Structure 1
Amino acid sequence: MTIEQTTSPALKKSNLTSRIVIGMVAGILLGTFLQWLMPNGSDKIINLYFFDLSLKGFLVDGVLEVIGQIFMSSLRMLVVPLVFVSLVCGVCSLKDISKLGRIGGKAIGLYLATTAIAISFAIFVALLIAPGEGVNMVANSSFTSKEAPSLAQVIIQMFPTNPFASFAEGNMLQIIVFALLFGIAIALSGKAGDRIAALFDDLSVVIMRLVSILMNIAPYGVFALLATLFTSVSLDTFGNLIKYFFVVFFVLLIHALVTYPIILKLLTGLNPLIFLKKMRDTAIFAFSTASSNATIPVTLETATKKMGVKNSIASFTVPLGATINMDGTAIMQGVATVFIAQVFAQDLTLADYLTVVLTATLASIGTAGVPGVGLIMLAMVLEQVGLPVEGIALIIGVDRLLDMTRTAVNVTGDSMVSVVIAKSEGQFDHEMYLDAKAGQNIDDGRL
C-alpha cells in the first residue's frame, strides 16, 4: 500500500498553530469582555439609528453560536468516513497471508495492547489529579447521557446486523468491526482486492485533504466557541487547563520512558537504555513534523540501520504502526474525556470508562498519522459516553502544543514493537543493536 505524505510544510503547520492559539486567546478575551458587559447572564442592548441590537441575541446566541456549531458539526461529519477509510487502508497492508496470521497478529496485538495500557493509565492519572474539577461549566447544546450498557452488551453490540444502519447512526464500534472484516476480505481477494484497495487509498487522500481544510478553519471555530463559552466562564478555568496540559504531558513521558522500555526488556531481554538513546534523533524528527506518516522513512532507517531489525520485518511493522499505533492520541483522549466530564460536572460510570478504553483502543487503528485527526477521534469518544463535544474547544489550543509530543511517543512505540517482533522471528541483528556507532550516517544525512 502506498502511503501518501499529507502533512503540510513546517512553516504552514507553525502558522496554523499560531492562528489557533491567536483564535483561542482572542475568543477568551472577547468572551470575558462580553461577560463584563453582560454580568450574570444579562443582555446588553445597543441603540442604533433604526433598531435596537441585542448583543446576547445577535452576537453570542447568533453569529458566534452559528460559527461554533458549524465547526463542531464539521468535526462530527468527518468521523465516520475518516475511521472507516483509514482503517480499511491499514488492514489492506496485510497482503501476505502468512504475515497476516503470524507477524500481523503479533504486531496488531502489541499495538492494541500498548494503546489499551496508555489510555487506562491516562484515565487513572486524570481521575487521581482531577484537572477539570470545580469548573461546573454548562453545555450550550442540549445532550442527554443515555444509561450505560453492561460490558457484555457493549461487546455484543460491536458486531453490526446492518452496517449501513451503523453508518447512518454513527455507531463507531460497529463501524470499526465492519471495517476490520472488510479490510481483511480485500487483502485476501487478489487482483479484485488490489483494485478496491487502490480506490480506498485514493479516498484516504481525499479525506485527509478534508481534514486539512477543516484544520485551516479551526482558528475561526475555536474563536467562536471560546468566545461563547467565556461569556459565562471566568478566567479561573485557565488553572484547570494548565493542569490538563501537564497531566497529558506527564502520562506521555511515562509511557515513552517507562512503559515501552519495560515491555522491551520483558519480551526481548535487550537493554532499553540503548533503545532510547538510538531513538533520540527519530523522536526529535517526529516532534518537529507532528506526523507519524511523514516520519516513516526516518523510523524505517532507524529500525534497520540502528536497531538491527531486518527490512522484511520493519517494512511491514513500521508503516502498519504509523496507521494503527496511536498511543499518544489515546492518552490525550483518555485525559480529555475525564477533563471534559469534570468541567461539565458529568459523572461517568465504570462501564463508561471501559467503553472509552475499548472505543479509543479500536479507534486508534483508524486514526491516520497526520496532525489534527486526534481531535476528530475525540469527538467520537465523547459522543459514545454522552459528553458535550463543544468541550473540545477548551483543549484545542494547547492540543497543538501536545500533538508533537504525541507523535514522538507514537514512533517510539512503532520502533519498539518492530524490535520485539524481529527478535521473536529471528530477524534481528544483535551486534548492530549494541553498536553505538551504527547508523550514524542517518543522522548526518537525513536529520
Structure 2
Amino acid sequence: MKKLALHWQIIIGLVLGILWALLSSAIGWSSFTIDWIAPFGTIFINLLKLIAVPLVLFSIINGVAGIGDPASLGRMGGKTLLAYLITTVFAVAVGLVLVNLIGPGKLMDQESRIDNRISYEIWANSQGYQIKDGINYLQDPKFMERAKKITDLSRAELQDASVSSKLETADSAKQSGPLQPLVDIVPQNFFSALADNGLMLQVIFFGLFFGISLLFIPNEKSKPVIEVVDSIMEVFLKMVDLVMKAAPFFVFALLAGVVSKMAGDDISKVVEIFKGLSWYSLTVVLGLAFMIFVVYPALFKIFIKKVSYTGFFKAMGPAQTLAFSTSSSAATLPVTMECVEDNLGVDKKVTSFVLPIGATVNMDGTCLYQAVAVVFLAQMHMIDLTLGQQLTIVLTATLASIGSAAVPSAGLVMLIIVLESVGLNPAWIAIIFPVDRILDMMRTVVNVTGDATVCSIIAKGEGLFNYNADKDPNEDWKLKEKA
C-alpha cells in the first residue's frame, strides 16, 4: 500500500483527535484526555517554539544578505524590497479590516467565550503577561466559581493573581512614554531578547541589522558568514521537517487536548468551536480571494496595461496550481520563474533576482492569514485588541514574513511569533489547526501570485518586460510533456 502523504496523515490525526475529544466528552473522560494525551500536544508546541526564534533570526539574516552588493543592485534592489513591503502591509491591512468587520470570533456562544476569557486571564497571570484590554473577569465575584471549575487554583489564589496583574499593569502604564513601543524594538542585550519569547521584535530587529551590515563589508569577509548562516538555517529547516514527520501523532494529542479543555464534559461546546472556525475560514478565504482576484490584477492594470485580466491567470495557472498542491513557495519557484519568463515575457535578469527574494521575504497570503488568525483568537477569548496592538500585529507579521521559510506549515511557526508579540497564548494555534492545511494551500497561491506581480512590475519599470498576448501560455508546457 502506497504511503499516505504527510498532509493526509496530519488531516487523519486531527480528525481522530477531534473524534476522541467528542467521545471522551460524551462519556466523561475529559480529565483522562487532559492528563495523559494533551501533554504530547504541549510538547509539539514547545518544539515549534524552540525552533521558531532561531529559524526567524537566521532566515532574516540569510534573506537580507542574499540581496547581494547594494552598490551593484542599486535601483532594482530598492524597488523590489519596497514593492514587496507595500504588498505585504496591504495584505495584513486587508486581513485586519475583514476580521474586524465580520468578527468571526464574536459569533460564538457568549458562555463559551466567557470560559475562554477566564482561561486566558489565568494563563496570562501565570505567565506574567498583562491583561490586554485592562478588564479582569477574575476580579468579578460572579465569575470566580466558573474560574474554579476550569482550573485547580483556589479562590484565594485566583484573587491574588488578579490583583497582582492589575498592579503590574498600572506600574507599567505609569513608566512608559509615547515612544516606548519604538524603544522596545531595540534590544539592550541580544541574548536576553533570544531568551525571552515576548521580545521577538528585538530578535527581528537584530536579524535585519546584522543582515544589512553584511551587505556593506567586503565579499571575502561576508561570504564565510553568509555560508554559515545559510547552513544553520538549513539545519533548523530540517528540524521543522523532522518535527512535522511526527505531526500526525502530535496533532491528534493537540486537538484532543484543546477540544477537551474547551468543552469539558459538555459536548455542545464543541459545536460552538467549529461554528467559529467556519466563520474564521470564510474570513481568511475572502481576504485571500480579494488579493488574488482584485488586488494583483488591479496592479497589473495600473502598471502593466497590456496584460488582460484572463491573460494574467492563464499565464500564472501552472504556478498557481502547483502552489496549491505543494503549499510551498520554494517548491513552486522553478515553475513560477518559467511562467513569468515564458508566459508574461519578463527578462531572466529580473526573475533570477526578484523571484528568489520574493519566495523568502514576500508572504502576502501568510501575513493576511496571521492577522485574521490573531484577531479571531483574541475575539473568541473576549479580548478587544486596541488599534496600537493591531498595528503591532501589522509590524510583526510583516517583519516575520521575511523569516518565514517557503515550506509547508512554516506560517504556523510564524503565527506563534505574532501571537507572542501581543501577549497572547501561542498554544491557541491548536484551535485553528483543523482548517490550517487547506488555508495553507490557498495562501501559498497568494504568495506566488504576489511574487509574479511584483516581478512583472519591476521588469516593466526597468524596460525588461515583453509580453506577447497572442502566445498560448500552455504551449511550452505541452512541448515539455512531449519531450
Length-normalised TM-score, structure 2:
0.81
2:38–2:256: 8 Å Cα contact kept in structure 1?
A: no
The alpha carbon displacement at 1:147 in A equals 6.4
Cα deviation, 1:369-413, whole Å, max 9, x if unaligned, reads 000110010011111112222221121121111111111111111
Amino acid at match of 2:226: A
Q: Distance in 2 between matches of 1:95 and 1:384?
A: 30
2:70–2:77: 8 Å Cα contact kept in structure 1?
A: no
Alignment correspondent of 2:50: 77
Cα deviation, 1:303-358, whole Å, max 9, x if unaligned, reads 22221211111100000000001011111101111221122222211111110011
Amino acid at match of 1:202: S
Q: Distance in 2 between matches of 1:387 and 1:172?
A: 13
Cα deviation, 1:287-308, whole Å, max 9, x if unaligned, reads 1221111111111112222212
Amino acid at match of 2:124: F
1:118–1:330: 8 Å Cα contact kept in structure 2?
A: yes
Q: Distance in 1 between matches of 2:73 and 2:101?
A: 40
Q: Distance in 2 between matches of 1:106 and 1:270?
A: 21
The secondary structure found in structure 2 opposite 1:308 is coil
Cα deviation, 1:147-171, whole Å, max 9, x if unaligned, reads 6778743233222232222212232
The alpha carbon displacement at 1:194 in A equals 1.0
CA 1:366–1:225 in 2, change beyond 3 Å: closer, same or farther?
same
Alignment of 1:150-229 (within 5 A): 152-170=179-197, 171-189=199-217, 190-229=219-258
Length-normalised TM-score, structure 1:
0.87
The alpha carbon displacement at 1:269 in A equals 3.3
Alignment of 1:394-405 (within 5 A): 394-405=431-442
Alignment of 1:322-337 (within 5 A): 322-337=359-374
Alignment correspondent of 1:116: 89
Alignment correspondent of 1:374: 411
Out of 469, 474, 479, the position equivalent to 1:434 is: 469
Structure 2: segments with no counterpart, 5+ residues:
133-175, 264-268
Q: Distance in 1 between matches of 2:350 and 2:62?
A: 19
1:150–1:351: 8 Å Cα contact kept in structure 2?
A: no
Alignment correspondent of 2:10: 20
Alignment of 1:241-390 (within 5 A): 241-273=277-309, 274-390=311-427
Q: Distance in 2 between matches of 1:446 and 1:184?
A: 43
The alpha carbon displacement at 1:143 in A equals 2.0
Q: Pairwise CA RMSD of aligned residues? A: 2.3
The alpha carbon displacement at 1:211 in A equals 0.8
Q: Distance in 1 between matches of 2:474 and 2:346?
A: 12
CA 1:374–1:200 in 2, change beyond 3 Å: closer, same or farther?
same
Q: Distance in 2 between matches of 1:25 and 1:289?
A: 21
Out of 78, 89, 92, the position equivalent to 1:105 is: 78
Alignment of 1:121-136 (within 5 A): 121-133=94-106, 134=108, 135-136=112-113
2:14–2:248: 8 Å Cα contact kept in structure 1?
A: yes
2:99–2:375: 8 Å Cα contact kept in structure 1?
A: yes
Q: Distance in 2 between matches of 1:183 and 1:433?
A: 39
Q: More helix per residue: 1 or 2?
A: 2
Alignment correspondent of 2:447: 410
The secondary structure found in structure 1 opposite 2:270 is coil
The secondary structure found in structure 2 opposite 1:160 is coil
Identity %: 38
1:330–1:361: 8 Å Cα contact kept in structure 2?
A: yes
Q: Distance in 1 between matches of 2:469 and 2:100?
A: 40
Structure 1: segments with no counterpart, 5+ residues:
1-10, 39-43, 45-54
Q: Distance in 2 between matches of 1:410 and 1:108?
A: 15
CA 1:214–1:223 in 2, change beyond 3 Å: closer, same or farther?
same
Amino acid at match of 2:211: G
Q: Distance in 2 between matches of 1:81 and 1:275?
A: 38
CA 1:155–1:99 in 2, change beyond 3 Å: closer, same or farther?
farther
Out of 235, 240, 247, the position equivalent to 2:270 is: 235
Alignment correspondent of 1:63: 36
The alignment covers a number of residue pairs equal to: 417
